[in-house]
Amino acid sequence: MQFIATIATTMKKILLIDDDAELRQLLATYLGRHGFDTLLLPDTRQLDAFLERYQPQLLILDLMLPGEDGLAACRRLRARGEMRPVIMLTARDEPVDRVIGLEMGADDYLGKPFDPRELVARIEAVLRRGARSLVAPDPEGGVTRFGEWLFDRAARQLSRKDQAVTLTSGEFALLNTLIHHARQPMKRERLLELTRGDASESFDRAIDVQIHRLRRLIETDPAHPRYLQTVWGIGYVFVPDAPGDAAAE
């Protein structure tokens, strides 16, 4: 009994919301074999209560849900500052759906039908990414200031005038990477490798979407960015303030 209790406490808890009862049970069984204690819901009516009561480490949201759909739920959670990683599922595996999902704040996206092994790989990759950005201190450490913004790597926090701004784990990893390589144009493929671990598991537009979201957060004029600039034919570059305009510690 002691051994069983130990296993239960080491399992990672996730919340899966999908209106397909058969799929929910199949995935719960499969994920359980791979170290995940999976909570199940058919829709989002009890989502907030489950998040507060069970504190899952990750949320899997089906896009097409009765009532509040997955996109609306993800947008609502991010708007209130919810940082928990989100993986979106949908039967409409179209690039535009993936882009919209990421714009709403999802950390990753998986189209149906899918191999359960791929879902496990995505879950583990997102949790690893979140652990690196949330817990592990940045090897460079320190604080970077640009304009009115302060980016604290160790605290994993972006703030302006002492007001913190919510970033997903992917957005934090991307901004951290660009700031770390300031003035160095970075290819999309390289950014995917550095922020997600394996570019083959993602798609090209993922970086573009996150850049778009970050620009809306930090740029005075997102259409003419000062800090997160496009390098045509290559990718993106972070351009810090000139010496004397802002300081980096």
pLDDT tens digits, 129-156: 765 544 344 545 678 999 999 998 877 7
Residue 201's pLDDT is: 47
Report the C-alpha gap between 249 and 244 in whole angstroms: 13
Mean per-residue pLDDT over the chain, rounded:
82
Whole-prediction pTM: 0.64
Contact, 224 vs 174, CB < 8 A? no
CATH 1.10.10.10 domain locations along the chain: 143-238
Residue 247's pLDDT is: 44
Which pair of structure tokens corresponds to residue 136? 């592990």
Nearest alpha carbon to residue 124 among 213, 60, 55, 189 = 60
Gyration radius of the chain over CA positions: 19
Report the C-alpha gap between 175 and 48 in whole angstroms: 29
Report the C-alpha gap between 175 and 158 in whole angstroms: 10
Nearest alpha carbon to residue 176 among 193, 151, 148 = 151
Segment 192-208 mean pLDDT: 65
Q: Quickly name the fold that domain 2-134 has.
A: Rossmann fold (3.40.50)
Residue 93, amino acid: D
The backbone torsions φ and ψ at residue 245, rounded to the nearest 5 degrees and listed phi first, read -80, -45
pLDDT band at 59 (very low <50, low <70, confident <90, very high): very high
Segment 65-88 mean pLDDT: 88
CATH 3.40.50.2300 domain locations along the chain: 2-134
In the predicted structure, residue 181 carries a pLDDT above the cut 50: yes
Report the C-alpha gap between 64 and 62 in whole angstroms: 6
The lowest-confidence range among 94-98, 177-181, 191-195, 218-222 is 94-98
| CA distance to 74, 80, 111, per residue, from 62 (Å) | 10, 20, 10
Report domain 143-238's class: mainly alpha
Fill in the DSSP letter of residue 81.
Answer: T
